[in-house]
Amino acid sequence: MRVGIIGMGWVGSSVAISTLHEGLARELWLHDRRPDLADGEAMDLAQGASFYPSADVRCAEIEEMRDCDVVVIAAGKGGRPEQSRLDLLRENASIVRDIATELRGGRATIVVVTNPVDVLTHVVWRASGLPPERVIGTGTMLDTARLRQMIGRELAIDPRSVHAHVLGEHGDSEVVAWSAANVGGVSLRSAPGWASERETAIAAEVRTAAYEIIRRKGATNHAIGLVTAHLLGSLLRDERRVLTASRVHDGSVGLGGEVALSLPVVVGREGATRVLSPSLDAKERAGLERSAEVLRAAIASL
């Protein structure tokens, strides 16, 4: 399998090392607008070849990446502590649009990591000419991982035993589907030790987690690197996992007009194909509809 990563900053480099550790790529091609950075990362990663499954790591131009199985777009400006993800929109939209145009006509499925990821997933879909299932944003996969970690912390159990999802925007309008959350098949709200009055605070902690990390270290990168490798694994190994990834949806999901946001989707070799309709209470459904409106407005502003 051949994987390309465009943008070798904090996030791109974390995606690269996580991809190698997972053994997902026989060939890993790297690109950055600063050629020396991409070359240095390729050299650094290649010299660790004794510690991950065999892979050839090298630099590549964007047009070469049309022949990759998957291309990850991690290029763009990172956020400052006082910025929302939507504040990054215009500059990063221009960057990813140019990249998607260069990839047009290729066979690669495109994974978008750059923020604001939902709006940029829509931008890349438009510019690439690919069907919506083959342009996938990491969406709320990271938010969902954060939520599960925090619920696991509250209940003193492994996050992998928690089944709970964050839906909608990867950002301030995201929605936690508390009513459908469960632990080992037991409704979360019935689980011993769970305090429902903590839900508002935990949802806020999930929503603001990136801002807190950026305030302390300047960027978020390790967790999103792991998330992206998990998504790549489902694509490249045709695992058909249900993930809260972002893709463009039309009105068929009951959220009005065309919008890119996160819902549970089945991800395999053909992309994010089947969309599952989550079970939500009235408040959660209203929140998801509001999130769709926020994202449509952001798309329209371009």
Residues at the binding site for NAD(+) are 7-12, 32, 92, 113-115
Q: Which residues are within 8 A (CB) of 184 and not within 5 positions of it... i.e. 6 or more apart?
A: 161
Provide the token pair at 140.
């709320």
Active site residue 163: no
**Exposed, middle or buried by CB within 10 Å (0-12, 13-18, 19+), for 3?**
buried
Which residue is catalytic, options 31, 122, 165, 170? 170
Contacts (Cβ under 8 Å, ≥6 apart) of 100: 73, 110, 123, 124, 126, 127, 128
Beta strands in the chain (DSSP E): 2-6, 27-31, 56-59, 70-73, 109-112, 135-137, 162-163, 166-167, 175-176, 182-183, 186-187, 241-243, 246-249, 259-262, 265-268, 271-275
> What gap in Å lies between CA 171 and CA 169, rounded to an integer?
5
Which token pair is 105?
């006509």
Beta strands in 140-291 (DSSP E): 162-163, 166-167, 175-176, 182-183, 186-187, 241-243, 246-249, 259-262, 265-268, 271-275
Q: Look at residue 171 and give its three-state secondary structure.
A: coil
As annotated, the active-site residues are 170
